[in-house]
Chain A
Amino acid sequence: MKERLIIIKNEEIIFENKVLELPIKDDFLIAKSIEIFDDDDPCIIHQSFIVNEFVSLFLDLFDNNCEIKGSDFVANLNFLDIENIELLTFRITR
């Protein structure tokens, strides 16, 4: 997961970092932890596993493309801790 992620809103870059730094809502992290480990208070290593799980799901949406529109995946991206997903463009670089 070496990819870098750029998030663009109204032609302005609002996020540029490693894809593993993807901002994820806390309640989604906890829900996923309960789903995978039945643990509502995961340790940092388990949290890291969960982040990898979300990032993996996120990367699958690109399906060999390097860019996706948030408007096409609003429901799939509801775990992201960013507002107005429908206005965003996500670009992946290596």
Chain B
Amino acid sequence: MDVYLDNNATTKVSKEVFEAMIPYFNEEFGNPSSLHTKGIKIKKVLNQSRKIISDLLGVNRNEIYFTGSGTESNNWALKGLAFSNTTKSEIITTKIEHHSILHTCNFLESLGFTVHYLDVDQDGFIMIDQLSSLINDNTLVVSIIMANNEIGTIQNIKQISKICDANSTYFHIDAIQAATHTMFDLKDTGVDLASISGHKFHAPKGIGLLYVKEGTKITNLIHGGQQEYGLRSGTENIPYIVGLAKAMKIGFNQLNDYETKLNNISKSFLKDLDNANIDYKLNGPKIGKNRLPGNLNLSFRNIDGMSLSFLLNKQGVYVSTGSACDTESIDISHVIKAINIPQQYQSATLRISFSTSLTKDEIEYATKIIINTIKSEQN
């Protein structure tokens, strides 16, 4: 039996999404910029998709810009602000961001920007006092990962937004792991920019979006034609945009059931680990409103994480390790480092991310394999 427990890495394109996309590969293939029937028809589809998404997010249509990935959205948010707002030179982010933010910040540091990296507590929550003390008139943007992709911590976006607002600082959220997995209304949260990626919620890889609040001063990363209101050139990827809108609609409509079901699976899994006397540590917040549904990040005492993942893979159970690739060594991830877990638990961290499509048999099989493998390795 094969059991995929790596849904925070990527998700399967759902049947409904796949079917919605198919006509736009060959039957309805026009260029939305063309002023003939084939093009006009596709322009309408593009506008409708944008409207579906903007309605779901509670924002205006002209605030949604399609991109090629979440990484592009994150890059564009920070570089686009940095290149068009030359009077401010400080950025605040956290130590637990995705590399698409951290490496973009490194790049901007090389151009002379000063970047402050906020500490997090043992559950991965940012230190609000530290943010308040660092933010100043020279702060261009605060960029925070809304739901951490490794340990599932969901930050208090509204609280951070108020601090940014009071200091006239742009606020960008990396909502790539959050969208459709937890409720958020962009208008209500008051953020200025938000990154989203389709493949995290059953749309294909290669499509994302950046929300940019009207009035935000941002420049292009990609120059060319006038697509995406002249800010992101390149012929629009219509099949994938249709897929993104469809997946987002399904995701938001199912959100309540989704959260309940995944939280129940997570709780039941942890109970099974407890009953089997497995020595583990749950990284990130307890299961509930502050943790990404279906995300479990677990550290096991005195085990080699790569071997554990290898052994699970051999038995058809697919999970992620918390390892980072260096040129010379395998290091624990920067997120796990930032939350300071005890030394003896650092060598083996697994991220297990469930989906609602898992069957009872699959969950039981995976639980049994994980428990037996850990027991065998910990003894």
Contact = CB atoms under 8 A, between A and B. Distances in A.
A3 to B, nearest CB: 10
A47 B272 CA distance: 33
Contacts of A45: 306, 323, 325, 330
Given A1-B304, A20-B304, A52-B306, A44 B311 contact: no
Contacts of B376: 2
Contacts of B330: 44-45, 48
Nearest to B327: A44
A49 B310 contact: yes
A65 B70 CA distance: 51
Could you say which interface size class chain A belongs to?
10 to 19
Could you say which interface size class chain B belongs to?
10 to 19
Chain B at the A interface: SS class: mixed
Chain A at the B interface: SS class: helix
A52 B311 CA distance: 9
A44 B377 contact: no
A56 interface: yes
Interface string B168-195: 0000000000000000000000000000
Interface string A35-65: 0000000011100110011001000000000
Given A1-B310, A2-B303, A52-B306, 19 more contacts: A1-B304, A1-B307, A1-B311, A2-B304, A2-B377, A20-B304, A20-B307, A43-B325, A43-B327, A44-B325, A44-B326, A44-B327, A44-B328, A48-B306, A49-B310, A52-B310, A53-B310, A56-B310, A94-B379
26 contacts: A1-B307, A1-B310, A1-B311, A1-B377, A2-B304, A2-B376, A20-B304, A20-B307, A43-B325, A43-B327, A44-B325, A44-B326, A44-B327, A44-B328, A44-B329, A45-B306, A45-B323, A45-B325, A45-B330, A49-B306, A49-B310, A52-B306, A52-B310, A56-B310, A56-B314, A94-B379
